[in-house]
Amino acid sequence: MLIGRLVGRDLRYRPSQAVLLLLAICAATTVLSLALDLHGVTQQPYQQTRTATRGPDVVAAFGPSALTMPHGPHGPLPGAAEAKLLAEEKALMSAPGVTGYSGPYPVASVIVRLGTVAAPLEAEGRREAPASLDQPKLIAGSWVRPDGIVLERTFAEALGARVGDRVSLDGRRYTVAGIAVTAASAPYPNLCFPPGGNCVFDLGMNCSGKPGTVLSCSAGGISGIPSDANIGLGWVTEPDARALASNAAPLAYLLNLKLKDPAAAPAFAAAHSNAQNNANLGPGSGGLTPWQSIAYNDGLLVQDEQQVLTPGAWLAGLLAIACVAVLAGGRMADQSRRVGLLKAVGGTPGLVGVVLMAENLALALLAAGLGLVAGWLAAPLITSPGAALVGAPGAPSMTAATVAEVVGVALVVALAATLAPAIRGARTSTVSALANAARPPRRRARLIAISRRLPVPLLLGVRLVARRPRRALLGAASVAVTMTGIVAVLTFHATADSRLGVSSALTNPVVTRDEQMLVVLTVALVALAVLNAIITAWATVLDTAGAAALARALGARRSHLTAAIAAAQLLPAIPGAILGVPLGLGLFAAANGGGAAATTIPSVAWLAPAVLATLIAVTGLTTIPAWAGARRPVTDVLAQET
Amino acid sequence: MNSGAEAMVRARGLRKEYGKDESLVRAVDRVDLDVAPGESLAVMGPSGCGKSTLLHLLGGLDRATAGELWLAGRRIDQMSERGMAALRRDAVGFVFQAFHLMDELTAAENVELPVLLAGRSPRTARRRAAELLDQVGLTDRARHLPTQLSGGQRQRVAIARALANRPQVVLADEPTGNLDSEATLDVLRLFERLHEAGQTLVIVTHDARIAATADRLISMRDGAFIDETRLTGGTSGQLGALLNLDG
Amino acid sequence: MQQEVVLALLAKEPSHGYQLRARLRQALGPLGDAMNDGQVYVTLTRLEKAGLVTSERTAGMPDRPDRKAYALTARGQQRVAEWLAEVSWPKPDLAEFHLKLLAAAAAGLADPVAIIDAQRRELLRRLRDAQRAAMAEPDGSEAALLLEGVVLRLQADLRWLEACERSWTGRKVRL
């Protein structure tokens, strides 16, 4: 087809432009694809875990306060209390709608120490034989044995524990026998976290936190435990669990229930939970927890990531649009002649517009494809470490919706940025298009007058900016967007550090994952910003080639001209960078949902260098194409200008 | 005009070549040239004979492949880029066929630009621009943009600009190439006036009328000089021969 | 001096010889300086012989042609009317030069290119003179328009000479 051939020829003629365009849209689509892939991760793996571990529909926790004995030995319950407990458990086990159960399992609250790291832990007592409901699935090592503990996967990673490591539980020596995942509990650190948290830990715990944030529980007064440590989960043999109970930390019990109608689990939990007395255990601990809440908690981990990725994807998209806009605008001068030729041989304005856009759309499609693949490959890197869910290490499935959205966005980006130049091109009269009458430069009398007092490089630089005010604005906007992203990342670090306690030796997998994503995002944003700076500089150099050559013919030095073009990029970048700081703070606050109160502003010691580094980078990146452009012989350029 | 006075422009064995081996093109082929101060020289020749390239070399817009070149007593073929930029600014004024004015600047701003580039104060620049626009008869058009001027007016602005820093040599590349005959006359008159005022001029042209204003005419072909004519002399007594008044 | 020109100058009213001469001088400007004064009177005498003008001796003036008063006859008036209506244009004399070149080349008497160059030089000098004269004329002078015509014709001739030079140089190379 004619259009195809025209497009193909043009791409081969100017491959570098095509590559730049491709890279710009690719970065944006990768980020978007990643965001969408992660979005789809939430429900599926939990379902897989639930199936693999025979997950329960409702988990009932019987907190120790119900059984507090003013005096008495550790461990096993005194008779009356135990009888009361048994009665409550039986009531639940035989409640209408219940078709099966496992447990009740004793749970001890202990402090686990591995080397120098200590953390609070719920140790659930289990039999060696597999349970009919909630049998945690081993992903390393073997199941419980005497003096052996199986750790929940995310907690094991946070602790840095591996199979065979020696740990101590309240001073008693144990060996890590295995690592497993379960669907009966939200993974660390969301164990205690409402609405799906059902931890029973009690060491005078004081848990606080708002929904939507990671809970922090403080184990008041226990030496070696940071006050903001989160609680982990592990399994031991039943006798070991009973042995680990103490007066200060009596046993609790967990009962897993299977319902005839799993979808009715929330209703069941609500109906029966007033039977539990767990007033002094802190929010969300004990009581009945339906599986939907656990799934939700699990999903919160990924949601957090979403909050980071979604605005990040927007930023990346904006920068990509800016890149494409400049590229398309910069090529219009080239293209106008082609437009004229097409019209002169009888092309309709429609055809002209189509040809002009066809190239960019083709590249956008290619970039969408590449971005989808890159996002698909990158998503497991983000979800697998710390994802306590079976099945995550495969690739999150790419749904048709994801493909459609990414392709759609890429096309929209290409369309939005090339629409204006294409329409202008289609409307240009054939004669003027053939004469290659590019857009004449704008005149800004005030700026020209001001520039007369400046030294030569700035004189030329200001006049260059004045010639193309819209491009200067675009440049400023691009720097602002980049700065916004960088400041948002810095704010995240400052906030996360202050909130979760830098002193924690235990890595918080949520933070780790967020940080990993931020790294991905920052890399993408910075790559896009670099591309943007280079593209804008290249477009500026092309656009000003004639004026620059003329200035050199009149006696301006080459170095002055390079400096002028760099100044022309830098001058609009300064307000852009400054604007990016409050925008970045605002973006973080908005994405965080916590508002200004939850946001810690990064110190000036971080912000100032960030702004400076961005400005220096912009200047430096501009200097390269500027210097290259200034090397062309004056006479060549002037000859082309006629 | 010979001996004693140091030549304003001197070239020995000047060469400019492009490409190599089979595709070697000799745009300027071993040219020797002397232009005395105050002399007006015209260079004529068919398209592609290298006359424009020669002019670019003389003006420091391009670097010769080989040969020696002096301008206003300074050796320029080995000069650094900075030196050549200074040369273009202070010693040479260039007039192009396509005018090459900056479209977003008024006539006055165009003329004052070289002065600003030379680092003078804005006030000096403005004064000089006014002075020059007056000399070329365009004071009333000082605040017009190039798009609002006719071709002849634009070229006159360009000539004013070329004179901004009082250059020692004015180089003109087909100055009337894009002009109609009336505009050509205006430019002709300007060049005559400059010549009378003692400005050294080197003009590359197709137009015999411009060439006829020069003291000396050199014909070029294939990058080399092939002919030289002195045009000074001639009184109105000979004018009668122009008319066939007999019979 | 073209006879018809002198006839036409008498069309308005009879004139003395010296008046006619002055009128011509004014119209031709510097180009008329080289005019031979006697030419006008020779022409007037011929015209009288041909019966197109009559002359009258003015009383009290010597019997010299410049002092005689001349007037058109009826036939003279008719001739003027015809002349004004004619659209013939004086032919440029290119053929002579063209043949000159061919003859020189054929007989080996001279190098045609050298002939062309010499002619070009001469024409350029004339162009320069005419141009200078044109620019020296005050605005609106009649002679200025004439001089511009001379300049443009010379320019055209020079272009032809350039073409000749290209062509004859090529021929030389082929030989």
CB contact (8 A) between residue B88 and residue A555: yes
Report the pLDDT value the prediction gives residue B205, as an integer from 0 to 100. 92
- The token duo for A181 is 């995942």
A276 confidence band (pLDDT: 50, 70, 90): very low
Would the CB atoms of A553 and B100 count as touching at under 8 Å?
A: yes
Distance between CA atoms of A539 and A159, rounded to whole angstroms?
52
Contact B85 A459 (CB under 8 A): no
> Could you give the CA distance from residue C37 to residue B165 in angstroms, rounded to a whole number?
53
Q: Rounded to a whole number, what is the distance in Å from the CA of B219 to chain A's nearest CA?
A: 22
Name which of B81, B88, B118 is nearest A553 (Cβ-Cβ): B88
Q: Which residues, in sequence order, are bridge partners of residue A121?
A: A110, A232
Answer whether the bond into residue A189 is a cis peptide, omega within 30°: yes
The answer to whether A97 and A229 are in contact (CB under 8 A) is no
Decide: A138 and A101 in contact? Cβ < 8 Å: no
How many CB pairs below 8 Å do chains B and C form together? 82
pLDDT > 50? residue C79: yes
Which pLDDT score is estimated for A86?
Answer: 73
Chosen from C129, C160, C169, C173 to mutate, greatest number of chain B CBs within 10 A: C129
> Mapping DSSP to helix (H, G, I), strand (E, B) and coil, where does residue A535 land?
helix
pLDDT mean over A602-611: 82
The closest alpha carbon to A109, from A244, A6, A230, A18, belongs to A244
In tens digits, chain B (247 residues) has pLDDT values of 444 458 899 999 999 998 887 888 888 989 999 999 999 999 998 887 889 999 999 998 888 999 999 998 889 988 888 888 999 999 999 999 989 999 889 999 999 999 999 989 999 999 999 999 999 999 999 999 999 999 999 999 999 999 999 999 999 999 998 898 888 888 999 999 999 999 999 999 988 999 989 999 999 988 899 888 888 754 444 566 666 554 3
Q: Which of A74-78, B106-110, C43-47 has the highest mean pLDDT?
A: B106-110
Chain C residues whose CB is inside 8 A of the B238 CB are 34, 125-126, 129
Alpha helices by DSSP H, listed for A40-104, are 43-53, 79-93
Q: What is the mean pLDDT of chain A?
A: 73
Q: Is the previous residue joined to A195 through a cis bond, with omega within 30 degrees of 0? A: yes
**All chains having 3 or more CB pairs closer than 8 angstroms to chain B:** A, C
- Contact residues, chain A, for B61 at CB < 8 Å: 553, 633-635
Q: Residue A259: beta bridge partners?
A: A98
pLDDT at residue A71 is higher than 50: no
* Side chain identity at residue A384, one-letter code: S
C165-175 pLDDT per residue, tens: 888 887 766 54
Element spanning B35, H or E:
strand B25-35
Give the CA count within 13 Å in the CB-facing half-sphere of A584.
29
**DSSP H or E segment with residue B219:** strand B216-221
- Give the end-to-end CA distance of chain B in Å, rounded to a whole number: 43
Strands A117-126 and A232-237: parallel
A-chain CB neighbours of B103 within 8 Å are 440-441
The pLDDT of A612-624, averaged and rounded, is: 87
Contacts of B226 (CB under 8 A, 6+ apart): B219, B220
Better-predicted residue by pLDDT, A580 or A313: A580
- DSSP string of B128-193, one letter each residue: HHHHHHHHTT-GGGTT--GGGS-HHHHHHHHHHHHTTT--SEEEEESTTTT--HHHHHHHHHHHHH
Note whether ipTM > 0.90 here: no
Answer whether C168's CB lies under 8 Å from C113's CB.
yes
Distances, alpha carbon A258 to alpha carbons A95, A131, A182, B170, in Å: 11, 13, 15, 100
Of A39, A175, A201, nearest in space to A109 by CA: A201
Shortest Cα distance, chain B CAs vs residue A554, angstroms = 5
Residues of B in contact with A633 (CB under 8 A): 61-62
**Does residue A451 contact residue A463 with C-beta atoms inside 8 Å?**
yes
Cα A82 to Cα A106: distance, rounded to the nearest angstrom: 12
Q: Using the beta-carbon criterion (under 8 Å), do B208 and C159 form an inter-chain contact?
A: yes
User: Phi and psi for A218 in degrees, rounded to 5?
Assistant: -110, 130
CA distance C10 to C4: 10
| 8 Å CB contact of B98 and A452 | no
Rounded Cα gap, residues B189 and B233, in angstroms? 19
Q: Work out the mean pLDDT of chain C and round it to a whole number.
A: 82
Nearest CA among A178, A176, A175, A207 for reference residue A191:
A207
What's chain A's length in residues? 642
pLDDT value, residue A381: 63
pLDDT tier, A299 (very low <50, low <70, confident <90, very high otherwise): low
Using a CB-CB distance cutoff of 8 angstroms, which residues of chain C are in contact with residue B192?
A: 135
Q: How far A463 CA lies from chain B's nearest CA (Å)? A: 9
Residue A258 phi/psi, 5-degree rounding, is: -115, 135
Q: How far apart are the first and last CA of chain C?
A: 45
Give the residue on B whose Cα is nearest the Cα of A550. B100
Look at residue C52 and tell me whether its pLDDT is greater than 60: yes
Rounded Cα–Cα distance for residues C164 and C175 (Å): 16
* Least confident window among A101-110, A111-120, A332-341, B33-42: A332-341
Does A453 contact B122 at a Cβ distance shorter than 8 Å? yes
**Whole-angstrom Cα distance, residue B108 to residue B87?**
23
Inter-chain CB proximity B105 and A443 less than 8 Å: yes
Identify which of B56, B81, B104 has the shortest CB distance to residue A441: B104
Supply the pLDDT for residue A284: 33
Give A163's DSSP letter: T
A402-429 residue pLDDT tens: 788 778 877 887 777 667 666 666 666 5
**Partner-chain contact A556 B100, CB within 8 Å:** no
pLDDT at C144 over 60: yes
* Helix (DSSP H) and strand (DSSP E) numbers for chain A: 18, 12
Interhelix angle for A2-13 vs A15-39, to 10°?
Answer: 100
Q: Which two tokens stand for residue A279?
A: 């007033």
pLDDT at position A119 is: 81
Bigger pLDDT: B29 vs A202: B29
What three-state secondary structure class fits A337?
Answer: helix
Whole-number Å distance between alpha carbons of A619 and A624: 9
Q: CATH top-level class for B38-61+80-231?
A: alpha beta
Q: Convert the pLDDT of each residue in C111-134 to its tens digit.
A: 888 888 888 888 888 898 888 888
- The mean pLDDT value for A584-604 works out to 70
Question: Cβ C34–B240 below 8 Å, yes or no?
Answer: yes
In this prediction, residue B149 carries a pLDDT of: 93
**What residues of B are in contact with residue A441 (Cβ under 8 Å)?**
103-104
Domain regions of chain A by residue span: 1-49+299-439, 64-285, 442-642
Q: Indicate if the pLDDT at residue A175 is higher than 90.
A: yes
Angle between helices A43-53 and A291-344 in degrees, nearest 10? 140
C-alpha pair distances (Å), A489 with each of A504, A574, B162: 21, 20, 55
DSSP element (H, E) containing A552: helix A509-553
pLDDT at C68: 81
Largest Cα separation within chain A, whole Å, is: 105
Confidence of residue A332 (pLDDT cuts 50, 70, 90): low
CA–CA dist A422, A429 (Å, integer)? 13
Q: Do C129 and B229 touch (CB under 8 A)?
A: no
Distance from C-alpha of A611 to C-alpha of A614, rounded to nearest angstrom: 5
- Residues A438 and A329 sit within 8 Å (Cβ to Cβ): no
The answer on pLDDT for A14 being more than 60 is yes
Stretch A2-11: mean pLDDT, rounded?
67
Beta strands in A115-170 (DSSP E): 117-126, 137-141, 148-152, 166-169
Phi, psi of C70 (to 5 degrees): -110, 150
Contact B212 C135 (CB under 8 A): no
Nearest to residue C40, comparing CAs of C75, C16, C11, C73? C16
Pairing of strands B169-173, B92-95: parallel
pTM above 0.90, yes or no: no
